A and B are shown apart, each in its own frame.
Chain A
């Protein structure tokens, strides 16, 4: 236990006040968070849905929770049920086998809801395109508010996209 406490003290707080490459992001984030509280009266709850990704986008969404990005510090958290969510964060081309599940998750999310599509596949279908097994981009299946390009988009791009979706709704 002593080692554990020592390690915590040794590392200190690594959360970045103004992460690169956009130095204004944190203040922008705080401004949007204040607006988000006005809009929703609480923090932002996200339900992530992998609708067919290669798992690359998930790795970068996971990274948002690390101490550098400290997503929860922005009042944003991931929830287990779409019924608890304000925003669906959807990755992948929508695999045909995931179409019904994605539609159900969207229907289960209470209004007013936001949808953010993550990654080149979510934006356009990406390298997988449309086929017997793929419905292509997320917007082909459910309405999308913001789409974040990149393969995969780095964590900051995803964070910026989430904040843009909230800001646009406001």
Chain B
């Protein structure tokens, strides 16, 4: 569905992002949600802001991934109890976002079935809302052990396995509550929020010149995607367009980040299915990849290379030759390893029909990004709504309909090859010129939206005229995808959970913020 299919006038969003913004009352807030839900348009994000100091009260935003761009719907919350109509009945992914909005800002989704805290465990009291302007973010509270009301499953032989928050490996923390009978998973309930670091509050009052560093640390494996989305939002507010060379270099960094993560995941997925050979091979390739990052760009994970206004790196002819040569070498090796993976009966036995998310379920729950494309959700911002330089690269979107671990593995192989091709194209077509422009300080609201390796990263930014951040909302695609894992594991055996979980490889830090 397109924004232009609605009777509401959307004012175009500033900057490079395709999309529009409208301000509505409660009636249209709900009617637009119904319309987008009926058309199968996914919810991209939901967040609240405190504008009471500007005499405007609280506002809540819902952003939908419409076909012609991001449809950002703003609902000012009037006097009286800070409430807005719940969207979770039509968009299941909204449930946790609404619970988070309450924990941080104290605005309640009216009619929500699940009103349990989400981001707030026991670290701050229920009447402290950190994102309210008057709340002192530096305030410390006594930390209490929380009791969370997990949904209990009853029946003959049913028992629970609690896992986490600290996991038995080098993994981010979170809690998984399995209800099982024998080895079979009847139900999984996730409890996240353990690595909530107060990032949204930290952004408040931060000079834009520093904020990109914080945005680049919302989820370390997606630092390029976040830094670009943040820069895109900042540049929209400033009213500038980055020099063409900077845009192309950003795409180079983003595709290198995508490949680095895919190489890491392909190795880990082999290992989780007991093929240690796969981990040894792919982790070697990933290390080669990261070492060239360090050599050419000065940082293995590419943090802080994208800055508002452009990029902090440049490449010469020698570097471009190195990049091309590495793509060729890695491409050859990955093709060889794919043949080994594809023909390995033990591996395929573990991968195939494990952790299935059908296209229908994926559409209902709003599964996005790489996992979504493995379940028939044909969406990729790079090909659907390309920003420069993707508008000149003709990205071939990967896809699958099987929705199992095997499909998510296949997607990673396909996207690796496509990204290798893109890097080759970028190296061949990189325009000359400046890599960075000035960023004038301006007041305003801007949005950045980038297809990171995991899915869509969205940054909504509000600045004042001194160039400081009023509000910065960073949305990770894991918000939509975490709840889907609860469905993907049903009926699978407990020992397949790590494999299923890894095949999604979602961010805890990005979700918890």
Contact = CB atoms under 8 A, between A and B. Distances in A.
Given A56-B221, A132-B141, 12 more contacts: A4-B344, A7-B336, A60-B300, A65-B279, A66-B286, A80-B168, A81-B168, A96-B143, A99-B143, A100-B145, A131-B197, A133-B130
Interface residues of B, number: 63
B509 A55 contact: yes
A118 to B, nearest CB: 11
Contacts of A51: 173
Contacts of B283: 62-63, 65-67
A53 interface: yes
A97 B287 contact: no
Interface stretch (B188-196, B311-319, B381-389, B458-466): B188-196
B156 interface: no
Interface string A44-71: 0000111111111111111101111000
B172 interface: yes
Contacts of B150: none
B491 to A, nearest CB: 26
The dominant DSSP class at the A interface is mixed
Contacts of B279: 65
Contacts of B54: none
Interface in B101-140: 121-124, 128, 130, 135, 137-140
B153 interface: no
A75 interface: no
27 contacts: A3-B343, A7-B277, A7-B281, A48-B169, A50-B170, A50-B171, A53-B195, A55-B220, A55-B509, A56-B220, A56-B303, A58-B171, A66-B280, A66-B283, A68-B284, A80-B169, A95-B195, A97-B121, A97-B143, A98-B194, A98-B195, A101-B166, A131-B198, A132-B128, A132-B137, A133-B198, A134-B198
Contacts, number: 171
Contact of A133 (B124, B217, B286): B124
Contacts of B122: 97
A132 B143 CA distance: 10
B337 interface: yes
B170 A132 contact: no
A63 to B, nearest CB: 6
Contacts of A97: 121-123, 143, 165, 193-196
Contacts of A152: 220, 301
Contacts of B141: 96, 132
Interface in B272-290: 277, 279-281, 283-284, 286-287, 290
B143 A53 contact: no
B269 interface: no
A132 B422 CA distance: 43
B152 interface: no
B43 to A, nearest CB: 25
Given A67-B283, A154-B294, A132 B124 contact: yes
B130 A132 contact: yes
A142 interface: no
Contacts of A93: 197
A127 B202 CA distance: 9
Contact of A129 (B172, B202, B221, B301): B202
